[in-house]
Amino acid sequence: QKEVEQDPGPLSVPEGAIVSLNCTYSNSAFQYFMWYRQYSRKGPELLMYTYSSGNKEDGRFTAQVDKSSKYISLFIRDSQPSDSATYLCAMSGNKAAGNKLTFGGGTRVLVKP
């Protein structure tokens, strides 16, 4: 079983729709969970960061973590064409700084005008 699994997509939605992304993981030691956005030929950019289980909201973005199910989600409300990118989940077991992040393979999202 892969340590972090993520549907590669592509996920195509009309502008204004809700985008729903998720990752599953197998390592119960993971405590810090992140979502990164990566545009073509660019480096990953941090969108959301959560610790342990629970929800976190930031503008149009909501991140959810369910440690009991080893399942994390990212929701993007009122999606825009500029949201078209690859979304990567990442997680770590200790204080994220100074320790390695384990990434999912990324989900490609296309928001059509």
Partner 1 sequence: EPEVTQTPSHQVTQMGQEVILRCVPISNHLYFYWYRQILGQKVEFLVSFYNNEISEKSEIFDDQFSVERPDGSNFTLKIRSTKLEDSAMYFCASSTGGWTGELFFGEGSRLTVL
Site for partner 1, rule CB under 8 A: 4, 32, 34, 41-46, 49, 88, 90, 92, 95-106
For residues 19 and 11, the answer to whether their CB atoms sit within 8 Å is yes
- Distance of closest approach, residue 82 Cβ to partner 1, in angstroms: 18
CA-CA distance, 92 to 86, in Å (whole number)?
Answer: 20
17 vs 56, which CB is nearer to partner 1? Answer: 56
Q: By C-beta, is 13 or 96 nearer to partner 1?
A: 96
Q: Judged by CB, which is closer to partner 1: 13, or 101?
A: 101
Nearest alpha carbon to residue 6 among 81, 90, 68? 90
Whose tokens are 């993007």? That residue is 76
